[in-house]
Amino acid sequence: MAKKKIQDNDWFYSLLRPWVDFNTRRSYRRFEVHGSEKLPKDGAMIFGINHTNTLMDALVVLATSHRKKVFMARGDIFANPKVAKILRFLRILPLFRIRNGVAAVKNNTDSMEKAVDVVHDKVGLYLFPEGRHRTKHSLLQLSKGIFHIAMDSNREFGESQPVFLVPVGIEYGDYFRFRSTCMVNFGEPINVTDFIKNSTEENEAVLMNQLRSMLSERITKLITFIPDDDDYDASWEIVKMKNEKRVGGLYNKMLRNRTTVEKIQQYRTDQPEESKNLFAKVLEFAQNRVKNKISVTSTAKKRPLLNALWKFLLAVIGLPYFLASTVVNAIVWVPTMIIKSKLKDPAWGNTVCFACKLLLRPLVFIGGTIALFCTLPWYWALGGLVLLFFSYDFWYDYQELCRRMISDIRWAFKTKLRKEYGSLELNKLF
């Protein structure tokens, strides 16, 4: 009997997958997928994705479609045999790096062969070639593993089916707040088979570097990309203040962000001294804004008190539901808060929120269903069940509403800070 492949069907995985995808999408107030129409109708596909938000990056990509997917992750997390077994069940293959030791890198031969086999079976193979996550709108140099797999695949079966490298960009509204926004953006694929066939270059290392440059460039076009230099923080602060409003959806907001970044880069080139002075003022303003606990969303409000008023009315109306949600979901949010407080890397916060909700919310729903139908008429119990279903998402959204309301009030009364913001004249410059 042939050994089961990682990409083969598994009834238990198929049973869990819809629940995981549903919870992933519900982890964001707004979840958008763009560019799916660019994916080749036929051929082997290897996806290269930017890596900014730990495990959530894989989960949001998984939730973009019902297609079968296999991921590759850094090899050191497979050290524990039990963990390795779970990761294999989740359709994750190890990819070792030289930092894991020479002995570990030798295991790559088996992983690479399995990866090529996944691609051969027309199952999407998904990698994060930066090698590690960073909560930045930038991109590290891509590692060579993904290009080795692409070239090995093309060498093995490129004559019978083309091999594609597909760039994927993920953009979050906030890396650290649960129930923010998320956009997954698929770019124009690179036909590796045609590229190699039409190239006059025979040196494999040179070909891989060319593919690396192409994939890197295409990923940067799918996100708000800001060069990771000394002016990154100031540039990102300007982009946030300029384009905080979400008119037209996440994709259009990303395009506006990119336009602002281009104008900033041009300003740096044309007026280097003036730009240094401006960036210093922007960073000083950002420091004062954070110190006064004012959200960047408030700086976009022309009438912050009016905005705070309607948020206050919503908060009053929703207070009873929030209090009830707090009580019934305590079994979820209490462990979440405890675990998050012990994290060394806050970027893992959203992953912890997701995991606790995924594992513990069913207990809340089952217990609540039993309690409702045992104590109330069925029609009231049914209504209560609907409220229970949305209660945890509402719990987070209510807190965000209150946070922004308080921020708007603070911004309305910080006259000096508002004058400081006005003196930046960002709308005139960018």
| 21-51 pLDDT, tens digit each | 999 999 999 999 999 999 999 899 999 999 9
- The residue-averaged pLDDT of 204-213 equals 95
Least-confidence region, from 43-47, 85-89, 275-279: 85-89
Nearest residue to 16 (alpha-carbon basis) of 339, 362, 334, 279: 362
Whether 247 shows a pLDDT value over 70: the answer reads no
- Please spell the DSSP secondary structure of 29-86, one letter per residue: SEEEEE-GGGS-SSSEEEEEE---STHHHHHHHHTT-SS-EEEEEEGGGG-SHHHHHH
* pLDDT score for 83: 85
* pLDDT score for 4: 87
Whether 140 shows a pLDDT value over 80: the answer reads yes
108 or 55: which carries more pLDDT confidence? Answer: 55
Q: Are strands 69-74 and 124-127 parallel, antiparallel or unpaired?
A: parallel
Quickly state the pLDDT bin for 248 (edges 50, 70, 90).
confident
- The residue-averaged pLDDT of 112-137 equals 95
Q: How far apart are CA 418 and CA 428, in angstroms?
A: 16
- The residue-averaged pLDDT of 129-141 equals 95
Whether 1 shows a pLDDT value over 60: the answer reads no
* pLDDT score for 100: 58
Residue pair 151/31 in contact by the 8 Å Cβ criterion: no
Quickly state the pLDDT bin for 99 (edges 50, 70, 90).
low
- The residue-averaged pLDDT of 121-130 equals 96
Q: Which residues contact 296 (CB under 8 A, 6 or more apart)?
A: 237, 240, 241, 244, 289
Q: Are strands 92-95 and 44-49 parallel, antiparallel or unpaired?
A: unpaired
- The residue-averaged pLDDT of 336-347 equals 96
Q: Give the number of other Cβ atoms within 10 Å of residue 380's Cβ.
A: 12
Q: How far apart are CA 400 and CA 398, in angstroms?
A: 5
* pLDDT score for 34: 97
3-state secondary structure of 8: coil
Q: How far apart are CA 32 and CA 165, in angstroms?
A: 22
For the chain, the average pLDDT equals 93
Whether 355 shows a pLDDT value over 90: the answer reads yes
From residue 129, give the alpha-carbon distance in Å to each of 71, 204, 206: 11, 18, 18
| 219-229 pLDDT, tens digit each | 999 999 999 99
Quickly state the pLDDT bin for 65 (edges 50, 70, 90).
very high
| 279-303 pLDDT, tens digit each | 999 999 999 999 999 999 999 888 9
Quickly state the pLDDT bin for 2 (edges 50, 70, 90).
low
Whether 165 shows a pLDDT value over 90: the answer reads yes
Cα–Cα–Cα angle for 380, 383, 388, rounded to 5 degrees? 120
Q: Print burial letters for 189-227: b (CB count within 10 Å at least 16), e (below 16).
A: bbbbbebbeeeeeeeeeebbeebbeebbebbbebbbbbb
CATH H-level superfamily of 11-220: Glycerol-3-phosphate (1)-acyltransferase (3.40.1130.10)
Q: How far apart are CA 111 and CA 88, in angstroms?
A: 12
Using the structure block, give the residue that is written with the tokens 């894989």: 58
* pLDDT score for 104: 62
With a pLDDT cut of 90, the percent of the chain lying above it is 85
Q: Give the number of other Cβ atoms within 10 Å of residue 365's Cβ.
A: 16
* pLDDT score for 273: 94
* pLDDT score for 312: 97
Nearest residue to 39 (alpha-carbon basis) of 10, 61, 15, 17: 61
